[in-house]
Amino acid sequence: MNGIYQHFRPEEKEFIDKVAEWKQQVMEMYAPKMTGFLDPRERQIIRAVVGSDEEVCVSFFGGTADSERQRALIHPDYFEPDAEDYGIILYEINYPDKFSTISHSQILGSIMGLGVKREKFGDIITDGSCFQLFVAKETANYMHMHFDHVGKTPVKLVEKPLQEAIHTIEEWREQSVTVSSTRLDAIIGSLPAMSRQKSQQLIKGGAVKVNWKAVENPSFECAEQDVLSVRGIGRLKILSIDGKTKKEKWRMTLGILK
């Protein structure tokens, strides 16, 4: 296990230990273990911990093949999971769209306001007017009964087959930047219409996440493949760190979500 820790950040140790426990349970009980909805970074950790062990495997599904948040099934090698094994319900959010507008952030806030943990629901998806969300089966009844407003807009959840999930496509635009360091504030400060000072204010104000976790330290060191999101601005990914210039600045390639 010690070899695993060195590949991840110190604050991820607790989750690594939890995954190791899950793996041990599967080996001892010889039965699958299902997790809540995980972000891509957490799935990366699970893959690393489970490894290429011949006895134990891990599979993921979030409602669609390309869902960002997915549940994991850690299972013995004999078990071949299908979509039903992940316990995922798809709900469409019906609301009076002729008179009201709702947004992803409002929906997220309303669900969290019900006391539902983030691991109990997956992606909130939209085609611009229709909204859907994936919910853990064990939470579905509670959500159906209590999720009746987004802000002041009345809503109703209608269950749909997983096959009727909205198909969303993410487009990333590559951009080369030169930054003074790999610090979080330097990278965000390199964005258009952004400054180092403004980026520090956003970070300290809790408006920035790295790998889906809030980071309020401007000097946080970023690495390749980190996903950064800035509230109100959008999301970017460090595709590659391409070395230093003659003036000792870092060249990197960012992917910016269109």
- Give the single-character DSSP code of 45: H
Grouping H, G, I as helix, E, B as strand and the rest as coil, residue 73 is strand
pLDDT tens, residue by residue, 44-66: 999 999 987 778 999 999 999 88
Tokens 């911990």, located at residue: 49
Residue 38, pLDDT score: 97
The helix (H) or strand (E) run that includes residue 2 is helix 2-5
Grouping H, G, I as helix, E, B as strand and the rest as coil, residue 184 is helix
pLDDT tens, residue by residue, 216-242: 999 999 999 999 999 888 899 999 999
Residue 257, pLDDT score: 84
253 within 8 A of 239, measured Cβ to Cβ: yes
Q: Residues of the chain whose pLDDT is less than 50? A: none
Residue 52, pLDDT score: 74
CA distance 84 to 70: 14
